[in-house]
Structure 1
C-alpha cells in the first residue's frame, strides 16, 4: 500500500487538481454542481457569486465569457495536439470557464483577482496531462466494463442527490450529451486503473488526516468561520471519512501529475495557446 508520493507532489497536486483532478475533468469540475442541498460548489452558488461580483456565470456567444468574465476570444482551436490527438477549444473552455467561476468566488473572499494567464496554463497543462494518461492507459490495454461505467455514473448522481438522468441532463449545460458523459467516465476510470497499476492503492494515515483537518480548520478561522482546531468546522470524527478521502484524492492527483510529466518528456506535444 502506498501512503504518499512525497510532500512536494502533494503540494503540486493542489494546482493540478484545480485544473484536472481526473481524466473526467469536465465531470469532476462541472458535474459536482449538478444539484443537492449539501453541494458546496453547486451551480446555484456559482451563479449567485457570479452575479454578486458583476459577472455572468454563463458563457456568451462562441464560448466567450460575458460581462466581466474572462476574455476567451483569442483561444485557438485546437488548443494543443498530443501525439496527433487534438485538444479542442470546447474542451478547454469547459474546464477553464468552470474553474474561473470557482476562483472568482474565492477572489471575493481574498480580494485577489483571478490570474487568468496562470489559469490558462494550468488548464492547458492539465488537459495535456489527462490526454497523455488516457493514451498510456489505452497503450497498456486497460479497459473498463459497462457495469463499471454505470456504477460510477450512479455514484456521481448519488453524490449530487439526483437521478442518473437528471445528472446527465445537468451536464448538457457543459455541452455533454449522454454518450459524451459515459465517454468521460470511461476515460476517468481507465486513468484511475492506470495510476493504481503504476503506484498501487493510496491510503491516508491518521496523522495525515489530522493534519489535513487542522489545515481546513485554520483556513476556516482565517476566513472568520471559527477558531483553529475545529471551532468553525464539524468535529473530526464526524468528517474523518471525508477528510481521508480528500487526502487519498490529493495523493492520486500527485501521482497523476508525476506520471503525466514522465510521459510528456517523450511525447510529441504542440501547444497553440
Structure 2
C-alpha cells in the first residue's frame, strides 16, 4: 500500500485506515477525486498555493478549533477474527485524522460529523486488520532492507535531513521508532499482498489527459487565476495520483472480499 506508506506527510500513517475502508466509501471516493484534482493544481504552483494557504489560515484562525470527542469509545472498538482493535489504537488513529479534518473544517466553515468519522475509521481499521492477517497467513514479511528503503523514501519525500529527523517528528505525533517500523512493515506486507492479488497497476496516457482536462475545467469554474502548466510538465504528478487512486480502490475491493468470510464485530 505505497499510497499511504510513501505519499502521506508526517504524522499521518494512520490515514491508511480510511483508504482501506470497505464501507461508506462512495461519498469518500468522490471527495478523493476532487482532492486529486486540487492537489495536481496545487503542485503546479507552490508559491501560489503557499500564498493562498496563508490567507485561508488567517481566516480559519477566527473560527474555534473543534476538539475530538472520544468519551463514548469502548475499550474494545472492534474484533476481527478474534483479534481486538483497542480503544488506545483507535484513539491514536482518530486523533491523527481528526487534526487534519478539523483544519479543513476551519477553512471551509463546515461542521464535522464525528459520529460518522468514528464509524469510517473503525471500518478502515477492520479492513487493515483483515489485510494484515491475510499477509501473515501467506507468510509475507518485508525485510529490514525494504523497511529501511521505505524510511529513506519518507525522509526524502518529507524534505528531511535524516532518519533521525523523521523519527523525531513521528515521536512528536505519538509514534515511537519501533511502532513506526512496525507500521511500515505492515504496510509493505500488505502492499505485496495486493500486488499478488491484482498484479501491476498501469496508468494510461488517456487517463492522465482526462484528469488534466478535469483539473483545468475545475480551475476555470472556480474562477482561479492560477494557470496550470502544460500537460507534459504535470504527467509525473498525474500518473502518481492515478496510481494511488487505483491502488486504493483495489485495496478497498480486496478488503471487502476478505470481510465476507471474516468474523467481524464493531462496537461503536
TM-score after normalising by structure 1? 0.72
Quote the Cα distance in structure 2 between the aligned partners of 1:69 and 1:208.
40
Please say if 1:174 is aligned against 2:173.
yes
Q: Which runs of 5+ in 2 are unaligned?
A: 1-14, 22-45
2:76 counterpart SS class: coil
1:21 aligned to 19, 22, 25, which one?
19
Please say if 1:135 is aligned against 2:127.
no
**Larger deviation, residues 70-79 vs 214-223:** 214-223
Q: Which residue of 2 aligns with 1:256?
A: 251
Quote the Cα distance in structure 2 between the aligned partners of 1:77 and 1:187.
23
Where do residues 219-238 of structure 1 align in structure 2 (5 Å cutoff)? Answer: 219-226=218-225, 231-238=226-233
CA apart distance, 1:69: 2.0
Judging changes above 3 Å, is the alpha-carbon distance between structure 1 residues 223 and 96 closer, same or farther for their aligned structure 2 residues? farther
1:234 counterpart SS class: coil
Query: Does the CA contact (< 8 Å) of 1:100 and 1:114 recur in 2?
Result: no
Quote the Cα distance in structure 1 between the aligned partners of 2:192 and 2:246.
14
Please say if 1:69 is aligned against 2:79.
no
Question: Which structure features the higher share of helix residues?
Answer: 2
CA apart distance, 1:138: 0.7
Any idea what the Cα deviations from partners look like across 1:100-133, whole Å, max 9, x if unmatched? Answer: 3323333345443222222112111111101100
1:258 counterpart SS class: helix
Any idea what the Cα deviations from partners look like across 1:4-53, whole Å, max 9, x if unmatched? Answer: xxxxxxxxxxxxx7743369xxxxxxxxxxxxxx7x89xx98xx587453
Higher relative contact order (CA 8 A, sep 6+): 2
CA apart distance, 1:243: 1.6
Where do residues 170-209 of structure 1 align in structure 2 (5 Å cutoff)? Answer: 170-209=169-208
1:53 counterpart SS class: coil
Quote the Cα distance in structure 2 between the aligned partners of 1:224 and 1:165.
43
Quote the Cα distance in structure 1 between the aligned partners of 2:62 and 2:80.
39
1:86 counterpart SS class: strand
TM-score after normalising by structure 2? 0.74
1:113 aligned to 99, 111, 123, which one?
111
CA apart distance, 1:215: 3.2
RMSD (Å), alpha carbons: 2.7
Judging changes above 3 Å, is the alpha-carbon distance between structure 1 residues 223 and 18 closer, same or farther for their aligned structure 2 residues? farther
CA apart distance, 1:265: 1.2
